[in-house]
Amino acid sequence: MPELPEVETIRRDLDKLIINKTIIKVEIKKPKMVSGSTPSFKNNLQNSKIIAITRKGKLLIFHLTNNKYLLTHLKMTGQLIYQTNKIILPGGHEFPNINPEDLPNKYSHIIIYFKDESKLFFNDMRQFGYMKIVDQENLNKKIKEFGIEPLDKKWTIDYLTNILKNKNTSLKAVLLNQKHIAGLGNIYVDEACFLSKIKPDRVASSLTKEEIKKLHKACKDILLKAIKYRGTTFSSFRDSKGSPGNFSKFLNVYQKEGTVCKICEQDHIHRIKKVAGRSTHYCPYCQK
């Protein structure tokens, strides 16, 4: 699943490709991937332009000229593939090599056609992703469903302290909860916990002030570094230029089970099969 750094990379790349292009046609092959009325969805997009692309957590927000917003969530296996002439620029989940002649393929469930003959495909193998048109009021409601993300100015030590206070679930469960903290996913939670030397399965309320301070910084630092290197890839994420993310070489624990910890060199990386429903990686020597 693309996480915040991967979605932000896609946002930045698409911002250079589709801004101010007129949408002339929308094709919906899987109506269930459109939240709400499909005729209304088409009507709101056709003859509109995308004038800005923003993001909240892992949610992409396309701003339209008709004062409406196209919300797009890639979920587990979603892809956004931009095509113009013979060039394909994909971003999102893993995909095989795609030839221009192969599009649309069996996973191309929503297709947006632009006036200059370029196209934006929303592909999704498992069909968990969605697109939705909302007005300003409903956009505000949607945004309120998310907590503060670690890149926000409101991301303070006090905020994190209040989130963790009285939580008797695992630290990882709290960090993954988008209502508390927006944008953190499995990869970057494991890595942030490693940087702050805290086991992900610790009870959230058990963290000391010093540990919270370290975790607060680690969450922000790990996301900034991952964005800098265009996300992580381990045969899944590709950015919208078709390039793999480059953050994988900086991973300390995620999917490193059985390898010697490159920081302490005293123990191997362990994997707990399920913490908050996810495989979880940590170093028993470094993290307590």
| Catalytic positions, written as ranges | 2-3, 58, 278
Q: Are 101 and 87 in contact (CB under 8 A)?
A: no
Other CB atoms within a 10 A radius of the CB of residue 262 amount to: 12
Angle 253-210-4 from CA coordinates, rounded to 5°: 45
CA distances in angstroms from 174 to 157, 185, 241, listed in the order given: 15, 11, 33
Measured distance CA(223)–CA(237) in Å, rounded: 15
Strands of 87-92's sheet in order across = 23-28, 108-114, 119-124, 78-84, 87-92
* 104 prior amide bond cis, ω within 30: yes
In 3D space, the residue among 147, 93, 157, 143 whose CA is nearest the CA of residue 121 turns out to be 93
Give the amino acid at 133: I
Measured distance CA(268)–CA(261) in Å, rounded: 5
Sign of torsion, CA 280 282 284 288? Answer: negative
